[in-house]
Structure 1
Amino acid sequence: MSAHVLVVDDDPDMLRLLSMRLSAAGYRVTAVESAEAALARLALERPQLVVSDVQLPGKDGLALFDDIRARHPALPVILLTAHGTIPDAVEATSRGVFTYLTKPFDGKALLDKIAQALALGAPPGEGAPADEAWRVAIVSRSSRMAELLAEAKLVAGSDASVLIRGESGTGKELLAQAIHQASARAPRPFVAVNCGAIPEALLESELFGHVKGSFTGAVANHRGLFQAADGGTLFLDEIGDMPLPLQVKLLRVLQERSVRPVGATQSVPVDVRILSATHRDLDEAMAQGQFREDLYYRLNVVSLTLPPLAERREDIPLLANHFLSKLAVKYGKRLNGFAPEALKALAMASWPGNVRQLFNVVEQVCALATTPLIPLVLVQRALRVPSVEVLSYAEARQRFEREYLVGLLKLTDGNVADAARLAQRNRTEFYRLLQKHGLAPGSFRGEAPVAE
């Protein structure tokens, strides 16, 4: 559906010219000759953009902007000015007018500004066609992402291993999930594991499983993630952080299509498609002997690279509004969107932390918002401070507790009595805490056996 633009100008010839240009560019145009007529139209139907001359009979364009701002604060406005009214237009821009153009203006410049304004004012939820359910979690309208997603969908039809590259926070796991959803394996499990977030002693057991009694703390048989993903897709995030001994074992699993749990004598067949991701330069890691070349070629049958957020800026307003609508529900607030100048500030920011940082900034402004429209000052405050992940007290305590226990077990080499003494807790209570967080003390002992 084409965007609806309301054009306001008291010059019939200019009004006709603007209407023809915008209609030819594919927009739906409503043309009126006064501010009063424009406000009457706005009461009947809200457009996505208003383009108005400053010099109008009766109420002028600046007064029209003030009325629009009061009634529809997120509606972008472009002003057309004669040379004598430029100071007024500049002052209006500082108050929130999207931009102004000086007559006579270049037709292409006008269309460019209209496209930018419409991108900033896009309502959340636009972007993915109805028949693109496989990638519904990826919010985008940029041509760069469209090309990547087309390639991803093509790759999804095969069973080839895919290596997803990209900076931290660009959405590598979301892309992996989308590939899984577009594949024939979609009805089967999608299992993700962060190879850099699990201690080396635990990672082998997590991936391949273990049998009861294979090491101290192994009180029952444990199915690894390869078996959990059987028939589906296993996503190995931050594969570049996988220790070399486990790289050898992973290569063997990929070659033999079977896993041998820690302590087991027999291998178990598995049918798993491997998707992996990294933010590291694997070529450099191979040159330094930190990543096996034979494993690299097994994983990198097809390579997809996610662009940083700064290279897909047209997606920023869309993502910001999408996150805001989700977070408004979480915080139980009625939030209508961002003020135009607040969206412009988001679109112009540098975003070294990519989409994850944008989400955190939107969560900060959502948590602090006191009005339905997010103002510029709140966005500026969130962008000035380092972006932090907003957790509930319970979530933060849970995370700290687990990290604290892991640190103690590493320090004491998995000795529960010593760890409980350091924590000033009795051994029974300490065991209960370890069980709550799924931590096996034996996995932290230096002498714990590993699978052949």
Structure 2
Amino acid sequence: MHHIMIICPEDSPLKESEKWLSRYGFQVNICSTLEQANKYYDLPDFHLILVDQKILDELQTNDTPFPDTPPRIVLDSRPSLSTGVDAMAHGAVYYLPLPTDSENLLKHVVNVLEKANDAPPSTTVNKPTSQILFARTEKEEEALHLGDLDSNIIGHCPPMQSLFSDIRKVAGTDVTVLIRGESGTGKELVAKALHSLSKRHKHPIISVNCAAIPENLIESELFGHEKGAFTGAVSARDGLIYAADKGTLFLDEIGELPLEAQARLLRVLQEGEIRRVGAVQSSKVDIRLVTATHRNLIQMVKQGRFREDLYYRLYVMELLLPPLRDRGDDISILAKALLEKTCLKHKRPICEYNKEFNKAIRDHHWPGNVRELENAIERAVILSPTHKVEAANLKIAAQIQNDSSSTKDAKPTMNTSTQEGTTLDDYFKYFVTTHQHTMTETQLAHSLGISRKSLWERRQKLEIPKKVTNNK
């Protein structure tokens, strides 16, 4: 893979080229100043630099030299003959105007890389040619890079590779997909990958969390309503399903959909028709449905809480997301990527991913999965010194140990063997039932290192009732 460095101001049109160059198979890094690039990267290790002329103007003002290697292409939003001649005289291979179209810039990038014979051996691979690059569509390129660091879903372990293989096979079809996995594993990211790789990618994907909408409003939100259909319906409104017409509808936590709404959704799937609440006439709608749940839907069918006919409509293709604890080295890869992302988010220098930090992460079981990992790393970055991230600031292993100690203190007669050899679900249930009378839902979620949504989901999964207030 060829490595390209882009150096440009935040408002430069050159910044837009980062995304599509990555899609064409290049590893792209971007910095806003030469000083920043030198601080965080070893520039000679790159195969090519794309630099905005504004950066060079600032360097000339400060009498700062630009490195001779690697080769560079200069792009200028105010191009002129004299500036171009000067840029070429100082070592630029090409001088191009900004903005420039992707095909023109890509042609010059490929020409430079093909002429370069001194690329670093450690990163040299088969050089891309313009014929190969232009033969692939953006969707094909995105499909090839599923799991890589520059994609939305990172993963190299066998279960994730199997998932990516299934995504590539399913994305081009219109079949209904059911995504199953624990809370925080990235079900919505899978839905978005399916959409972006599908023939519907130019149309919207509408994501709906069925658990987040009050039961009395969910039919109106999904299917729309007529004016006067109920109190407060002061005007007619299209629903979210209609908004997804020609695109993809993603229903997260489909198991929380009320039975009445399930019947309406079944008609959408069977007839391709949607009828607003309070309406007489139906409208045609063309959607691709993707759903997700952490629940056992077949068990809900047996209990009469989920329609059997809808279940078999949804269960055409199933994609399984493995929990983070079963993904091996992916945990470290994800943690490194999230650490860099979080440092950039909080405008911190990129911290070194050290062995102590990695050990703390690998020793934890991550009941909240990737979402919990992301929260823990953000916590560590905020609490740690500027140039170093400390494992203790993850607040994970120590937190569970402290929680266990506090529960033992609160219940001195409790047999300590109940904390040994039990599953994470057992511990979760024990901790919540023990503390929910003295802690709010927010405090419970924070103590467990998960979000309130995750707490609610696990309550549902483990059938843990909320505390009951006695009225005296």
CA contact (8 A) 1:365 1:382 kept: no
Q: Could you say which residue in structure 1 is the equivalent of 2:342?
A: 327
Q: SS at the partner of 1:155?
A: helix
Which residue does the alignment assign to 2:298? 283
Number of paired residues?
269
Supply the distance in 1 between the matched residues of 2:242 and 2:450 (Cα, whole angstroms): 32
Cα pair 1:157 1:184 within 8 Å, conserved: yes
Give RMSD over aligned pairs.
Answer: 2.5
2:255 aligned residue: 240
The alpha-carbon deviation at position 350 of structure 1 amounts to: 0.7
Equivalent residue number for residue 384 of structure 1 = 398
Match in the other structure for 2:205: 190
Q: Which amino acid aligns with 2:295?
A: R
**Corresponding residue for residue 308 of structure 2:** 293
Task: Give the structure 2 partner of residue 132 of structure 1.
Answer: 144
Q: 1:339 to 1:348 in 2, by over 3 A?
A: same
Name the residue aligned to 1:354: 369
**1:237 Cα offset (Å):** 0.5
> Is the partner of 2:208 in helix, strand or coil?
strand
The one-character-per-residue Cα deviations of 1:349-407 (angstroms, maximum 9, x if unpaired) are 1111111111111111111121322123223x34433354699xxxxxxxxxxxxxxxx
Change beyond 3 A, Cα 1:237–1:131? closer
- 1:396-407 matches, cutoff 5 A: none
Q: Indicate how the Cα distance of structure 1 residues 235 and 390 shifts in structure 2: closer, same or farther if over 3 A, else same.
A: closer
Return 5+ residue gaps in structure 1 as ranges.
3-42, 47-128, 392-452
From 300, 305, 319, give the equivalent of 1:304.
319
Q: Distance in 2 between matches of 1:358 and 1:205?
A: 35
Q: Report the Cα distance in structure 1 between the residues aligned to 2:210 and 2:43, rounded to whole angstroms.
A: 56
- Give the distance between the partners of 1:281 and 1:295, measured in 2 at CA: 14
Corresponding position of 1:176: 191
CA offset digits 1:254-286 (Å, max 9, x no partner): 111011011112111100000000000111111
Q: Which residue of 2 aligns with 1:272?
A: 287
Once the 2 structures are TM-superposed, how far is the Cα of residue 130 of structure 1 from its aligned partner?
7.0
> What amino acid is the match of 1:255?
Q
Residue 200 of structure 1: SS of its match in structure 2? coil
**Aligned equivalents of 1:289, 1:365: Cα separation in 2:** 45
Partner of 1:149: 164
| Structure with the larger RCO, 1 or 2 (CA within 8 Å, 6+ apart) | 1
Contact preservation (8 Å) 1:364, 1:382: no
Q: Between Structure 1 and Structure 2, whose CA radius of gyration is higher?
A: 1
State whether residues 361 and 383 of structure 1, in contact with CA within 8 Å, keep that contact through their aligned partners in structure 2.
no
- Three-state SS of the structure 1 residue aligned to 2:250 is strand
Pairwise CA distance, 1:167: 0.8
Are the equivalent residues in 2 in contact too, given 1:335–1:371 (CA < 8 A)? no
2:215 is aligned to 200
**Counterparts in 2 of 1:114-133, with a 5 A limit?**
132=144
TM-score w.r.t. the length of structure 2 is 0.54
- Report what 1:338 is aligned to: 353
- TM-score scaled to structure 1, two decimals? 0.56
